[in-house]
Structure 1
Amino acid sequence: MALIDCPACHKRVSDKAKECQHCGFKLATRSSAEHDRELRRALQDKRDSILSQSMLALLIAIAAFAYFYVAQPLPDSWQAQLAYAGMLVGSIWFIVNRVRLVFLKKKP
């Protein structure tokens, strides 16, 4: 029994395994076309997941900004601090996810 790299997530799995226990990629014997299709499907699932996280981050940032704009809390209140934190966390999370998407597109 040998360990091989999963084509989708590049983690080590047994060569006897029917699918990767890390990402669910089907490793069973297949034709080259089926293998390529499965790899594209796995990459698309990962892109969709990152895109969903990106949209959630953007929603958090926009909701925090909308609350800050509509409610206009006092600058030193906990509501204002919470709105600042929501805008900051949502914005940073959004940017990180967009960078992850760029790097995912550069993978062969």
Structure 2
Amino acid sequence: MALIECSACKKRISSLAKSCQFCGVSQGEESEGTQKIRQINRASQLQTHSFIALTLFIAGVMIWFWGGEAAEGTRLYIGGACFVFGFIGYLITRIRIILNRRGKV
């Protein structure tokens, strides 16, 4: 007997089990429920990525304009990098969320 990973919920179960004790999916079968669980998990993960990118974007704006004036020197580069990476990351993540909802990812 060995522990294997459930194809639906990714939890460890016995290799002798006929179905997963956590999600109830039979081993070796890829059902519609399994696909739905996978899509929900992916959507949750993408929402987390979106939140992190948006936080990075806001941090970049705050660093840039901290103290009421435009940044200079090191603060300019750090704020600009956070701003750009956060903005681009947010846009890419939003596109991935749309594609996930359409079922293309």
Shorter-chain TM-score range: 0.5 to 0.7
Contact 1:65 1:87 in 2 (8 A): yes
How far apart in 2 are the matches of 1:68 and 1:74? 5
Q: Which runs of 5+ in 2 are unaligned?
A: 12-24
What is the percent sequence identity of the aligned residues? 13
Counterpart in 2 of 1:3? none
How far apart in 1 are the matches of 2:45 and 2:56? 17
The 5 A counterparts of 1:28-107 are: 28-29=27-28, 35-71=31-67, 72=69, 74-75=71-72, 77-107=73-103
Equivalent residues, number: 86
The Cα offsets for residues 1-27 of structure 1, whole Å up to 9 and x where unpaired, read as xxxxxxxxxxxxxxxx8744xx83967
Query: RMSD of the TM alignment (CA)?
Result: 2.7
The Cα offsets for residues 19-69 of structure 1, whole Å up to 9 and x where unpaired, read as 44xx83967155x8xx22221111100011011001100001001101212
So what's the TM-score if we normalise by structure 1? Answer: 0.66
So what's the TM-score if we normalise by structure 2? Answer: 0.67
C-alpha displacement of 1:74: 4.2
Please state which structure has a larger fraction of its residues in helix. Answer: 1
